[in-house]
Structure 1
């Protein structure tokens, strides 16, 4: 553990001083989000709003002491037509719920709009397509790479990055970092559970794998310094260990609008939500995931809603095949994205799509 007495920085926009007032406002916001979805054409609406206030105190026999106050929220809205295959999702998350009420209502409107656009979805065809992943999907699939830039994950065989340090794994214009000092980040923290000050870590720089996150134990193993990334993690029922983990994963923002990402003569599938990401081999990156809610095949400028397909590919190959990023970077945090991730929409070339066969 950290053996120095240290001063910790203050993380901006990490605590909403009016959180107790939001408890009374929350039902109104939920109703407004539902109404926004209905106004956009949804017939049914479901979802959940969660918010919390936490205080953490650190006192170590080695010297470090500190305390933090944190608030967070996440809203997940799903909107449906009468036929439940025609659905859409809207998400909103952050650290200051009383300043984010408009964003929560917008999440409901987005879910309703997507459900309406999904009406008439036809069976998708297997093949190789370009895919555009909205931030929700990119945070689950593409951010798996920086999320496993972790020596413990390498040690237990759950990372494909063990022998890739210093290699080009993505396009030259892509950088990704872990930033626990980011204002407004749900994972932001001034210090880790060992008392080490938190710091920004550049994981991928110009497409090259540059660093892992570390606590004091893994730092000694790798003959480097702790990055202030130690958290208690549950391995089996009732057992926790201090291990390195990400705080906020942050992707560099792109410069393309969604329309620009979908332009071109190549058949492109636009995915707005996914569930059930499962890996066949963590060390090589082979995985599959099921797109849910509204998705669309874009061909020659025409957008057709489709359904019942699966992305079956290699996450390392997809990371290297990123060829454009949107200018819509947003924070994503929900049950399919455990680490808060700031990511834009991402276009990936030549992605393998499968579908059920008779």
Structure 2
């Protein structure tokens, strides 16, 4: 780890103490990103950015304040500390805030085992442009593709360091390499589009540009002639591309911030079934080469694997220190934060138990219904779990895809929907949220 970030974090902590803070923590993040867009075989957009962000949180009694800046000079750091202390003195009291105790802190983590940073050289803009060109060419080679809206390739490297007056100091770096393509079929009002995009921590794990472009083109062509599905109550399969969003609603409702506000449809569900028996939802922050992995959370606590749902039963909440104290619990080491905000609960990597059937076998089991491949808009009542989302995908008759559909709305209740899910076996292991396609009963489709 480059000591410069560690030194900046230490300077922030020292400045906070000199300005009158009783406790403080500092987060320093720097990053490099390159993005290349190609259209019509020509370079359309190229961007490279390098930045550093400093965040300082100070505590005076049970009051806190956060400030951030993008300059690491001594004058700026001194001004940040003075401003944060002045803000904290005027802030309302919060009896639950505070740093971790020294015996709670992470120590001796194994960064090498997490493989968060690709050691290979940073790709040049020319390499990224070539990847985007190849993806575009592969999409255009698919019969029925009329144009490619965009083909992009990018790279990013981020380093961070967290330090606090309780003695914690630690940091790590992560990389990301991605390619995406959006293809179009048809003309005018008959135009339909679809996409394919992949990203990996290690460049060597990324699929080829040709594969990404080809899949984007095939997906777009499959949507030609899309129309509205029938209206009524039907089963729905959430394709693996979008199924993680459904599980995301469960995670949001189990978040400690929602629980302490009393605004969660899972408020009374701890220790009760929320998924069918046999299904578990496991959080594992230590999966190698996965973007959500991390050795410690944003408060310096050691991360660990745990079951958020075990054999269908919700085991507890997703907690940082403040929400845990308010609920009389221990933190689950789920603190996340930005440089401009205090910690808040959030998850890292999660995996839902996979089933034995393929998506196609689930379609045959469903018989007649909707296969959803894209979701848009969202109207979720966080207290009741009432659910409504725009969707597109494919109508299924007799277990086979009959025709593409668009402009429909799905409505149901999340508690009822999640209680009936049947998972397929197609979850992709490189994803931070590893969720397979899901067959769901009890939805109303508003279509034609």
Q: Is the TM value for this pair above 0.5? A: yes
C-alpha distance in 2 between matches for 1:135 and 1:330 = 12
Mean CA deviation greater in 161-170 or 18-27: 18-27
Pairing 1:91–2:197 present = yes
2:425 pairs, out of 306, 323, 326, with: 326
Contact kept? 2:412, 2:442, Cα under 8 Å:
no
Cα shift at 1:297: 1.0
1:269 pairs, out of 370, 373, 390, with: 370
Pairing 1:343–2:448 present = no
Bigger share in helix? 2
Per-residue Cα deviation, 1:134-166 (whole angstroms, up to 9, x for no partner):
122111123310243211122235532121101
The alignment partner of 2:317 has SS state of: coil
Q: From the CA coordinates, give the structure whose radius of gyration is larger.
A: 2
TM-score calculated relative to the size of structure 2: 0.71
Contact kept? 2:364, 2:400, Cα under 8 Å:
no
Pairing 1:232–2:342 present = no
Q: 1:160 to 1:112 in 2, by over 3 A?
A: same
C-alpha distance in 2 between matches for 1:140 and 1:162 = 20
C-alpha distance in 1 between matches for 2:241 and 2:426 = 14
Cα shift at 1:209: 0.5
Pairing 1:44–2:147 present = yes
Residue in 1 that maps onto 2:309: 204
Residue in 2 that maps onto 1:285: 385
Q: 1:82 to 1:349 in 2, by over 3 A?
A: same
Map 1:1-358 to 2 at 5 A: 1-2=99-100, 3-4=102-103, 6-10=107-111, 11-18=113-120, 20-21=122-123, 23-41=125-143, 42-47=145-150, 48-83=152-187, 85-102=191-208, 105-232=210-337, 240-264=341-365, 266-279=367-380, 281-292=381-392, 295-303=393-401, 304-331=403-430, 340-355=432-447
C-alpha distance in 1 between matches for 2:148 and 2:275 = 39
Q: Relative contact order, CA 8 A, sep 6+: which one is greater? A: 1
Per-residue Cα deviation, 1:227-248 (whole angstroms, up to 9, x for no partner):
22111259xxxx6221111112
Cα shift at 1:311: 1.1
Cα shift at 1:75: 4.0
Mean CA deviation greater in 21-30 or 63-72: 21-30
Per-residue Cα deviation, 1:276-301 (whole angstroms, up to 9, x for no partner):
1222x111111211224xx1111114
C-alpha distance in 2 between matches for 1:247 and 1:19 = 27
Unaligned runs of at least 5 residues, structure 1: 333-339
Count of matched residue pairs? 341
Unaligned runs of at least 5 residues, structure 2: 1-98
C-alpha distance in 2 between matches for 1:353 and 1:22 = 47
C-alpha distance in 1 between matches for 2:413 and 2:121 = 42
Q: 1:276 to 1:60 in 2, by over 3 A?
A: same
Q: 1:128 to 1:214 in 2, by over 3 A?
A: same
C-alpha distance in 1 between matches for 2:210 and 2:261 = 42
**Root mean square deviation, CA, Å:** 2.3
Q: 1:21 to 1:160 in 2, by over 3 A?
A: same
